[in-house]
Structure 1
Amino acid sequence: MDKMLYTAVSGATRIMEAQTIRANNLANAETTGFKADLERVNAMAIPNTQGSFDTRVLALTQSSGFSQQGGAVNPTGRKLDMAIHDQGMFSVMVDGGEAYTRAGAMIADGEGQLTVDGRPVLGVDGPLVLPEHKDLFVGEDGTISILPSEGGVIEEVGRLKLVNSDMAQMQKGPDGLLYRRDGADLPQDEQVRVKSGFLEASNVQAVSELIASMDLSRQFEVQVKLMKSAEKLAEVGNRLLRNV
């Protein structure tokens, strides 16, 4: 009975971990540039002992990846809202290093520094800072130009560091940003293109996540019933031993 109970508990634990992943995805269904986390499970057969049959299998949650599918690109009309066309990522500064994201809702703080979710946006020559300006223009290659407040000639003030990588070499950190698995910084990729006035939506498919959550809830109920069955069997066994 203890083996049955252990198997049921391990199954219930795995389901709770999967529900956490699904709940996080649903919570970020409206988060710009969010990549849905994936649920990865490995089946591990328990070796038979003392002549028992090799029929018990444990479910182990593996390191979860993320969906590489792109989200819908929606127009906003705001020039500092940017979306990557096809493949590529924006670069942001974190703790003195680099991280990468598809979120392009950029904001200039009081000092003109461009940020995404409070993190400085990196250009090819370092963090991007915008001088006071009357108008702003963003080229497809990430070049940012401004019309100065006092008027005059349009001048280039920097260029976004746009990078690309095989997503199999990337991993998502606890902060939701993407990092290279080897910890190295990605180089500028001249082929990446950006569209100003657009934002990429989350790639979470809310209906699919809800259906998966409901299915996980039913699986959890099955595991709980197995635990109760194991408890009843243990009680019956104890009563038989007391009557001997």
Structure 2
Amino acid sequence: MNSGINAVLEAAKNTVIQHEILLNNLSNIDTTGFREQTFSLILDKKKNNVLKNKEYYLKPVVSYSDKPGSIQETNRLLDIAPLQNYWITLKNPILNQEMYTRNGHMSIDSKNRLTVNNYLVLGEKGYIVIPNYENINFLEDGTIIYTIKGKKKYLGKLKLTWLRSKDVKKNGYSFCYDIFNKTIENKKIKENNELMNEKKIKSKSLETSNVDLTKNLLQSIDCCRKFDFYTSIVGHDIENNNLLNKFVDINS
């Protein structure tokens, strides 16, 4: 197969990858805190084992958009919307590792601990126990206050992690993300330099998905058209090769 057709097949493959990403974005347009995936191609090198050299090719790169979703007020005491690039930190008890989400639709488990989709929400000093959620208030920095008999009691502070969407990766849970190691140093720098009065969350609210419906629909249609174009080129090439083989057979 010639290099031209190989390039067409590679382009078709990348188009399929992009289309799957767009469809996933569209299917999560109503998912709280969902981050839109983006697709791009960059020039990279790969080793050619036959020619013993390196050649350039277009490498697909999938990342996430930092564009914030809109904030919707819910008036529900256990709902919070992370602001800027702050993420709610959860604990995966099975893998014993941290996960990150912008889905602030929280609940309380049988042990009065804060959870998101049954995963424990981490505070700066461990899990957060809520004695009576009807009397709690989330402050803008993530501090949780419990009011009883007119007196306010400190319950804890949410562990809010500063992350760029380009440095997160999807894990096996639809509402959670993991981080690459390279973000840890940047995260520490942010934590050391942040202002104490910086607004990190908005209470009684949720962040909607940041998926751009119109853009994803148009790009999805464009992908379908491109794929049809690429497959037609390959089809014509196969047809021409068949005709050439018949001609050779007749004249041999």
**What TM-score bracket applies, with the shorter chain setting the length?**
0.7 to 0.9
Alignment of 1:1-244 (within 5 A): 2-42=2-42, 59-62=58-61, 64-94=62-92, 95-132=95-132, 134-148=134-148, 151=149, 153-168=151-166, 170-174=167-171, 175=173, 177-182=176-181, 184=184, 186=187, 190=196, 191-244=198-251
Post-superposition shift, 1:161?
1.1
Range moving further from structure 2, 72-81 or 138-147: 138-147
- The number of aligned residues is 231
1:138-178, Cα deviation, whole Å (9 max, x unpaired): 11121112235xx563322111112224555x222223534
1:71-90, Cα deviation, whole Å (9 max, x unpaired): 10111101111012333221
Considering fraction of residues, name the structure with more helix: 2
Q: 1:16 to 1:25 in 2, by over 3 A?
A: same
Distance (whole Å) between structure 1 residues aligned to residue 57 and residue 233 of structure 2? 14
Identity of aligned residues (%): 25
1:127-148, Cα deviation, whole Å (9 max, x unpaired): 1121245422111121112235
1:97-134, Cα deviation, whole Å (9 max, x unpaired): 22222221111122211111222111010111212454
Q: 1:20 to 1:28 in 2, by over 3 A?
A: same
State whether residues 7 and 58 of structure 1, in contact with CA within 8 Å, keep that contact through their aligned partners in structure 2: no
Q: 1:133 to 1:86 in 2, by over 3 A?
A: closer
Q: 1:224 to 1:113 in 2, by over 3 A?
A: same
State whether residues 138 and 145 of structure 2, in contact with CA within 8 Å, keep that contact through their aligned partners in structure 1: yes
TM-score by length of 1: 0.84
State whether residues 164 and 192 of structure 1, in contact with CA within 8 Å, keep that contact through their aligned partners in structure 2: no
State whether residues 140 and 202 of structure 2, in contact with CA within 8 Å, keep that contact through their aligned partners in structure 1: yes
Look up the match of 1:54.
Answer: none
Considering fraction of residues, name the structure with more strand: 2
Q: 1:134 to 1:29 in 2, by over 3 A?
A: closer
Counterpart AA for 2:220: S
Distance (whole Å) between structure 2 residues aligned to residue 225 and residue 59 of structure 1? 21
Distance (whole Å) between structure 1 residues aligned to residue 250 and residue 44 of structure 2? 39
> Is there any run of 5+ residues in structure 1 with no aligned partner, and where?
47-56
TM-score by length of 2: 0.81
State whether residues 69 and 210 of structure 2, in contact with CA within 8 Å, keep that contact through their aligned partners in structure 1: yes
Distance (whole Å) between structure 1 residues aligned to residue 169 and residue 74 of structure 2? 27
> Is there any run of 5+ residues in structure 2 with no aligned partner, and where?
47-55
Q: 1:39 to 1:146 in 2, by over 3 A?
A: same
State whether residues 78 and 133 of structure 2, in contact with CA within 8 Å, keep that contact through their aligned partners in structure 1: no
Q: Cα RMSD (Å) of the superposition?
A: 2.6
Task: Report SS of the residue matched to 1:239.
Answer: helix
Q: 1:102 to 1:134 in 2, by over 3 A?
A: closer
Counterpart AA for 1:36: E
State whether residues 85 and 164 of structure 2, in contact with CA within 8 Å, keep that contact through their aligned partners in structure 1: no
